Amino acid sequence: MSKKMRQKPNALKIYDALYGRLYFNKQQWLKYGNLKDGYKGEVWADQNFEKYGWLIIKGLSFHLEGDYVCQIDTIIITRDKIILYEVKWFSNPAVDRGNKIQFFSGDKENPNGEIYEHPREQLEKATKKFKRLMWKLGIEKELETYVMFTNPDFVLYGMEDWSFDLLFHSEIDAHLSKLAASTIEPDAESHRIYNLLMKQDHDTSEDMPFIPKYNYDSLRKVVKCPECNEVITGILKSCHSVFCIHCHKKVTVNDILQKSLDDYKILFKQTPNLPQLHDWTGEMFDRMRIYRVLKKNQKEN
Ligand SMILES: [Zn+2]
């Protein structure tokens, strides 16, 4: 049970809209990949948690005085405890290096890829802050925390001990079933806590670190597939739909135009007028078609 739907992070929406229109450097590719993976893992976890009747907070961003915003990926509130999950969708294998993890990249024998803070460390820091939040709100409940690796292909080598706070893909089902068997329906107190926490949820739409700098002139004027977000080329002015060579789906020109319009709004926070959308879409379409899409949007808003 969750009253809040998980929203795609704004930073990811911007990266998606910039993709194919702007050159990304290595750091930006990494950031984009992490944002995509993070969201994928969270959506996967949501689908699995939703089978049970728990009170779930899908992403809580809270702010304590004098501190940065802290985010917890998933929170479950049961009658006897609160459970925090740090959700990760890592694809490449990695090695446990104590408080860091290092990914393999290219060389299958030696881990020589990016080094990140261990998710367990991240979760510990977030848990400390969450405890301060509980104290501030007068919430008294037992707290449990887990890191959840949602990608079935992910392997973590070099762990010295088996640790029960790290859940790998193959363990998640059993973990959730066990939790379901041991928890009872949320009571009024659980709902009260849920509402208290939700009131702390901080709007993060303006917090967007690592977004590449861009302006209208710096972006390629292309159109992209509404299904897979890849650039589509070679559209004839007269056709009503095209096959995307990337995802092999048939997409209509109206949907392509609609996506162009949506991307423009994400990047520039305003609706383009007819000449602007005509230019934004690489002058590939008749003005009449563009006019109809803009008109339809006007009616809907
Ligand atoms: Zn496609």
CA of 67 to the centre of ligand 1 (A): 42
Instruction: Please give the pLDDT value at position 299.
Output: 80
Distance CA 74, CA 272 (A): 37
- The answer to the question of residue 154 being in a domain is yes
Is 201's pLDDT higher than 70?
yes
CA of 248 to the centre of ligand 1 (A): 6
CA of 297 to the centre of ligand 1 (A): 23
CA of 183 to the centre of ligand 1 (A): 43
The DSSP letter of residue 217 is G
Mean pLDDT of 36-46: 91
CA of 224 to the centre of ligand 1 (A): 8
CA of 211 to the centre of ligand 1 (A): 24
Same domain membership, residue 71 and residue 175: yes
CA of 47 to the centre of ligand 1 (A): 24
Percent of the chain with pLDDT over 90: 61
Strands 100-103 and 156-157, bridge-based pairing: unpaired
Same domain membership, residue 144 and residue 276: no
Domain end, chosen from 152, 169, 199, is at 199
This prediction has a pTM of: 0.83
- The answer to the question of residue 149 being in a domain is yes
Same domain membership, residue 129 and residue 22: yes
Residues flanking ion ligand 1, Cβ below 5 Å: 225, 227-228, 244, 246-247
Same domain membership, residue 114 and residue 76: yes
The stretches of 66-157 forming alpha helices (DSSP H) are: 119-137
Residue 249 banded pLDDT, cuts 50, 70, 90: very high
Over residues 69-91, the pLDDT tens digits come to 888 999 999 988 999 999 999 98
CA of 250 to the centre of ligand 1 (A): 8
CB neighbours of residue 111 within 10 Å: 20
Same domain membership, residue 112 and residue 250: no
Mean pLDDT of 264-288: 93
Over residues 12-31, the pLDDT tens digits come to 999 999 999 999 998 899 89
CA of 227 to the centre of ligand 1 (A): 5
Same domain membership, residue 178 and residue 65: yes
- The answer to the question of residue 229 being in a domain is yes
Distance CA 280, CA 283 (A): 7
- The answer to the question of residue 4 being in a domain is no
Strands 94-97 and 100-103, bridge-based pairing: antiparallel
Q: Give me the number of domains the chain comprises.
A: 2
Domain end, chosen from 166, 199, 232, is at 199
CA of 94 to the centre of ligand 1 (A): 31
CB neighbours of residue 232 within 10 Å: 22
Residue closest to 232 by CA, chosen among 201, 263, 207: 263
CA of 228 to the centre of ligand 1 (A): 4
Do 89 and 38 touch, CB atoms closer than 8 A? yes
Distance CA 158, CA 31 (A): 26
Residue 1 banded pLDDT, cuts 50, 70, 90: low
Domain end, chosen from 199, 234, 255, is at 199
Same domain membership, residue 140 and residue 254: no
Mean pLDDT, the chain, as a whole number? 89
- The answer to the question of residue 101 being in a domain is yes
CA of 231 to the centre of ligand 1 (A): 8
Same domain membership, residue 194 and residue 236: no
- Residue 72: φ, ψ to 5°: -110, 130
Do 49 and 43 touch, CB atoms closer than 8 A? no
Same domain membership, residue 249 and residue 123: no
Same domain membership, residue 241 and residue 93: no
- Pull the structure tokens for residue 192: 């009260």
- The answer to the question of residue 207 being in a domain is no
Collapsing DSSP to helix, strand or coil, 152 comes out as coil
The DSSP letter of residue 9 is P
Same domain membership, residue 122 and residue 53: yes
Question: What ranges make up the beta strands (E) of the chain?
Answer: 55-63, 69-77, 81-88, 94-97, 100-103, 115-117, 142-149, 156-157, 166-167, 223-224, 231-232, 241-243, 250-252
What residues make up the domain containing 186? 10-199
CA of 280 to the centre of ligand 1 (A): 19
- The answer to the question of residue 1 being in a domain is no
CA of 229 to the centre of ligand 1 (A): 6
Same domain membership, residue 250 and residue 192: no
Mean pLDDT of 111-125: 89
- The answer to the question of residue 208 being in a domain is no
CA of 222 to the centre of ligand 1 (A): 14
